Structure 1
């Protein structure tokens, strides 16, 4: 799928565009399939988007929420992706608890947690082991080093192709993450990228040739649409349109 790149003047405009894109795709999924499955990203960039979603009128009982990656910390920890989303969004809307699927971080080993989450995803989608579900929306961010989810440069998680979820790590700290096979099965993948510090990685990711091991975001090539939504600081030097399609 050829990526679509959109650049917005500032973070406020970026968040507004992302909100429009996600709400439109949620409603489309519900119209077509009676429910919408979303895999969320963490970090600071999507936080205002989640806060905006908390003020949006949506059929919350039809929306099923997962996370594409998580730090291996308690849900109450300040750097928990689930904890942040819960505080700014999920606690503020009438979404059924059964529709919220945080990654487990209380298993003895992260590898066991990854297996448990994979089983939970398959059960929710009604699929057998060995199947790969298709998410309606996968929301991703990108680090200065070109990583996405918790797929970091030159780490073992990049080569995992026989699992949906795996244990990863950054600087010796364990993470849980979707693998490339699962990330690339989405109907709509949306990157949200802000800040001038992302320019170097973006240049490498959009180069005609490059190394996925060095810049893992290059490995995101979904079967469905791929949208890169950037603010002007991140997208400086890229010539593209600036409106959502």
Structure 2
């Protein structure tokens, strides 16, 4: 694993830096392998990045979009990660509909939809039994409790090692989420982190020793590159 930690002046600087990194990776990977697979994060922090991505000239037919987690709501609900990314970016560029792979939330049963999405990923990546795909990039954030994706402290989802997709729980609300081993298989994981309210979580994530079940972002140790991009408020104590 190659680890990069950058503290940037503000959110706009994070947008510019992550945009540069992502565009460069897309162009290089498409040139080398003809395809780029990207998993998106939800929340407010990456939205300006998605808006900036919508202004780029990229080989959209070679880019496949996934989500690292999704609230268990209909795709037209305001809380939907898919809806946010479509409005900010995907509906504004000529990406083929077949290249967008949202997490399904319509079965009325989160576990059933997790199994369905797992089957979709296994078919897309042509995986054998026990294999995990290697996404080219996964975007993540953290909460002030150090959760990432929908991997929340002291929840059963943190212990899943034999699945690609599982059900995460925030309070009593189910969510679909990538599992720890799926995230860790990635070529590149990029955390975008803003706000002084994240400082305590960051201190525990970067501490020499701490309990990963209490601070789940500690579990993220990808095979490839790990990028941490902080604004000054979040990274002040690093």
Which residue matches 1:196? 196
Distance in 1, matches of 2:136 and 2:168, equals 24
Distance 1:46 1:193 in 2: 9
Q: 1:243 matched to which residue of 2?
A: none
Per-residue Cα deviation, 1:84-125 (whole angstroms, up to 9, x for no partner) = 000110000000000000000001310011111111111111
**Residue 2 of structure 1: how far off its partner (Å):** 4.6
Partner of 1:61: 61
Q: Deviations over 1:50-77 (max 9, x none)?
A: 0000001100000000000000000000
Runs of 4 or more, structure 1, over 6 Å off, are none
1:219 deviates by 0.2
Normalised by the length of structure 2, the TM-score is: 0.98
For 2:112 and 2:129, locate their aligned partners in 1 and report how far apart those are by CA, in whole Å.
16
Structure 2 spans left out of the alignment, 5+ residues: none
After superposition, where does 1:81-96 map in structure 2 within 5 Å? 81-96=81-96
The TM-score normalised by the length of structure 1 is: 0.96
Please give the alpha-carbon distance, in whole angstroms, between the structure 1 residues aligned to 2:129 and 2:106: 23
Q: How does 1:70-219 map to 2 (within 5 A)?
A: 70-219=70-219
SS in 1 for 2:228: strand
Q: CA deviation at 1:129?
A: 3.6
Distance 2:210 2:129 in 1: 33
The CA RMSD over aligned residues, in Å, is 0.8
In structure 2, what is the Cα distance between the partners aligned to 1:231 and 1:136?
A: 24
Residue correspondences, number: 238
- Separation in 2 of the partners of 1:101 and 1:197? 32
Gaps of 5+ in 1: 239-245
Matched, 1:46 2:73: no
Indicate the residue corresponding to 2:222 in structure 1: 222
